[in-house]
A = this chain, B = another copy of it.
């Protein structure tokens, strides 16, 4: 399949920029075919203008049409077949099995959102009927539902070339809500981005969607993304990536003449607490699971467990097994040279301080961006005076933090910043005894896992992939799971509307047969 290297202003290709870049094969360090360019301001303006024009129809599209569009995107992605997987492998060095799985996750996500849209109750319809005879004043007829925000910007992530990129979670939820999208592809996988975007395009044409419901722009530099976020017609931003990148977009968006919400998921260290009973009963087994979780996908997950806390007196067999497992880990190829350099920088930072010791390191992978797994150790006391030890190192490393006693462990939990997840390993009696720990973690993270590992973020209705700052810029939302649809919508209230002018979701006869809060009671009539 020929790659054009173009920006896509809806269905029209454009190539006006002259800051060129190419994808690089992380294994060999060599350029891959296909020349891309940073989108110009003019191209971005055209994409946003088309997204605005498309919104007037798409934002009013009915549930069935929108669901069919999402399902068609899933079908078209599958129809790309091996070409997509092959290009993604070249661009990311992620193994075939992982990418096939990620494709499954991506199309499953689109189909799940389609199901939610088709069912329709997500709009949180609320109806307080008129009370014309109420004393001292009558009540108007008042109805409320969620409406899409308008054109939104979505940034592709490096570490999920499919599931968090062009047709990933943010695009799926934005399109599901009725927003149009201008997607900024991640420069590490522009070919994958282009292929997936063409699937969206084909699906839009097949299901009769307005041109410009989605556009794709590229950029290796910061300028295109910054221009996009500052465009006056863009109404919200979805981002998954580094703290630095997410925070920069957040600041930019807040300083616009018309500030807009930024839903930036910026990763975290994902503390894992191993309680004494569990450590004694199955320390080795937990160590095996942890080693697998830390090194999964060369540690390139936002939910990678980068920090393990425990009381030291029972930690011996856990540590021995973890050290052994890491030692034989073959390492792996990281996504980009930049990510590998950042990993090396983080490792160097820890290696050079006297506050931590190296427990174990894995083998080095010989590829251009190869990286070995590393496990460090320190104590809660040292962490307290050096909180930077807990900063995220994106890659296959983790730091074990040992406490002398229970109180120190609890104290460390209280000092945690916001994280996406926290994990607790404990026996039933551990968990009873450490309820105070769990109560602390409820305030620190988006998701708490008992006796599992944080990697592996299920796409379902109840997932929260989010959490307090600095894990995200908006702890009141999630970037995985069907609840994400609400980040791109806002409530609009209709007072004393004639039935014929009301949106279907609010009409008297409930033609969409959705759940609605009528006078405070959930009903389907």
A-to-B contact residues, CB < 8 Å: 56, 60, 101, 115-116, 119, 121, 124, 126-128, 136-137, 139-140, 142-144, 147, 149-150, 250-251, 254, 258-259, 261, 417-418, 428, 431-432, 435, 438-439, 442-443, 445-452, 456, 458, 460-464, 466, 468-470, 473-478, 481-483, 489-498, 500-501, 515, 517, 519-520, 522
How far apart are A307's CB and chain B's nearest CB, in angstroms? 18
**Among B115, B458, B481, B515, which residue has its beta carbon within 8 angstroms of that of A522?**
B515
Q: How far is the CA of A447 from the CA of B490 in the complex (A)?
A: 11
Contact A460 B142 (CB under 8 A): yes
Which of A261, A493, A494 counts the most chain B CB atoms within 10 A? Answer: A493
Contact A458 B139 (CB under 8 A): yes
What are 7 sample pairs from A and B whose C-beta atoms fall under 8 A apart? A128-B458, A137-B456, A142-B458, A258-B418, A261-B476, A447-B493, A522-B522
Q: How far is the CA of A21 from the CA of B127 in the complex (A)?
A: 45
Contact A115 B492 (CB under 8 A): no
Q: How far is the CA of A136 from the CA of B97 in the complex (A)?
A: 12
Known: A439-B56, A498-B450, A515-B522. A493 touches B139 (CB 8 A): no
Known: A460-B128, A496-B452. A491 touches B466 (CB 8 A): yes
Contacts of A442 in B (CB 8 A): 147, 492
Q: How far is the CA of A458 from the CA of B443 in the complex (A)?
A: 34
Contacts of A439 in B (CB 8 A): 56, 60
How far apart are A460's CB and chain B's nearest CB, in angstroms? 4
Contacts of A56 in B (CB 8 A): 439
Contact B497 A450 (CB under 8 A): yes
Q: How far is the CA of A499 from the CA of B149 in the complex (A)?
A: 38
Q: How far is the CA of A435 from the CA of B500 in the complex (A)?
A: 11
Given contacts A144-B462, A475-B490, 12 further A-B contacts (CB under 8 A): A119-B520, A140-B449, A147-B442, A258-B470, A446-B491, A449-B495, A450-B495, A450-B498, A463-B493, A466-B491, A468-B490, A515-B522
Contact B462 A501 (CB under 8 A): no
How far apart are A517's CB and chain B's nearest CB, in angstroms? 5
Known: A140-B452, A462-B128, A473-B259. A446 touches B520 (CB 8 A): no
Contacts of A470 in B (CB 8 A): 258
How far apart are A397's CB and chain B's nearest CB, in angstroms? 24
Contact A428 B498 (CB under 8 A): yes
Q: How far is the CA of A461 from the CA of B127 in the complex (A)?
A: 7
Contact A478 B495 (CB under 8 A): no
How far apart are A390's CB and chain B's nearest CB, in angstroms? 15
Contacts of A101 in B (CB 8 A): 136
**Among B127, B435, B448, B466, which residue has its beta carbon within 8 angstroms of that of A462?**
B127
Contact A520 B463 (CB under 8 A): no
Contact A461 B126 (CB under 8 A): yes
Contact B428 A493 (CB under 8 A): no
Contacts of A150 in B (CB 8 A): 443
Known: A116-B520, A150-B443, A493-B447. A142 touches B463 (CB 8 A): yes
Contacts of A461 in B (CB 8 A): 126, 128, 144, 517, 519-520
Which of A448, A469, A476, A501 counts the most chain B CB atoms within 10 A? Answer: A476
Contacts of A462 in B (CB 8 A): 126-128, 142-144, 493, 517
Contacts of A463 in B (CB 8 A): 128, 142, 144, 493
How far apart are A141's CB and chain B's nearest CB, in angstroms? 9
How far apart are A247's CB and chain B's nearest CB, in angstroms? 9
Known: A491-B466, A495-B447. A438 touches B60 (CB 8 A): no
Contacts of A491 in B (CB 8 A): 446, 464, 466, 476-478, 483
How far apart are A170's CB and chain B's nearest CB, in angstroms? 16
Contacts of A261 in B (CB 8 A): 474, 476
Q: Which 10 A-B pairs have the closest CB atoms?
A: A464-B493, A447-B493, A126-B462, A144-B462, A128-B460, A449-B495, A142-B462, A128-B462, A476-B490, A254-B254
